[in-house]
Each structure stands twice: as structure tokens, then as C-alpha cells.
Amino acid sequence: MYSVTSAPQSLQDDQSYRMHRYLLSMGTRTVCFLLAVLFITVLHWTIAGWFMVAGAVLLPYFAVVMANVSRSRISAPLGPVTPSRPAVEGSDQAPRPEGGQPGPRRTGDTDADGTPRP
């Protein structure tokens, strides 16, 4: 059962959030590519340029993986529910077997109506 405050995020909001995150990653990839071209061809900074190339190549994979990870649609689990009163009123302990002595049942015992117990 969900309360109003623990309802999961709507599908439209979840998709919008993932689309914005993907577009931000792709924008970063474009900047990496442009900086790689600038660093390698104009400034001749080959090491920095190759780092930018690596970023431009690897970012699409991570962007797609992160875009496919949706937020959890399950609300936080409810805590354990404790009963406000005992299951059987007036009894604080479990019932004892026949004879009043606790212990395992023997094979071949019968119920009050004579049917055998397993």
C-alpha cells in the first residue's frame, strides 16, 4: 500500500530525467571531441588531445548505460508491523501438546476424533 508521500515517480518524469542526463553526456562528448581537435591540430598537445579523444569515444557507452538505468519505481519498504494485542487473547504462550508436556509428536498419535496424525 502506498501513501501519498511514498508514491513512485511518474513514468513521464523518469523518462524526462533520463533524457536530460543523456543529453548532458552527449554535450560533454561533443565538447571533448572539439577540444581533441583543438589540442591535437592547433596546439599540438598530443597527450591532452588523446585524453579528449578517449573521452569522446567512451562517453557514448556510459551515456547509454546511464540513460537506461531508471529510478526505482518501488517505494521504500514498510517497516515490520507489530500486533497491538496477542493473537489469542488471554494467552501469552503457545498451546502445549496433549498431556500438557512439551516435546515432539510420536508417529501414530491420533487427534481427538481418532484420525491419525502425520
In the chain, where are the structural domains located? 32-71
C-alpha cell at 2: 502506498
Q: What is the mean pLDDT of the chain?
A: 77
CA dist., res. 97 & res. 112, Å (int): 12
pLDDT at 95: 56
pLDDT at 53: 95
pLDDT at 57: 95
Ranges of the chain with pLDDT below 70 = 1-6, 71-79, 81, 85-112, 114-118
pLDDT at 84: 72
pLDDT at 118: 61
CA dist., res. 69 & res. 17, Å (int): 11
Helix, strand or coil, per DSSP, at residue 110: strand
pLDDT at 14: 85
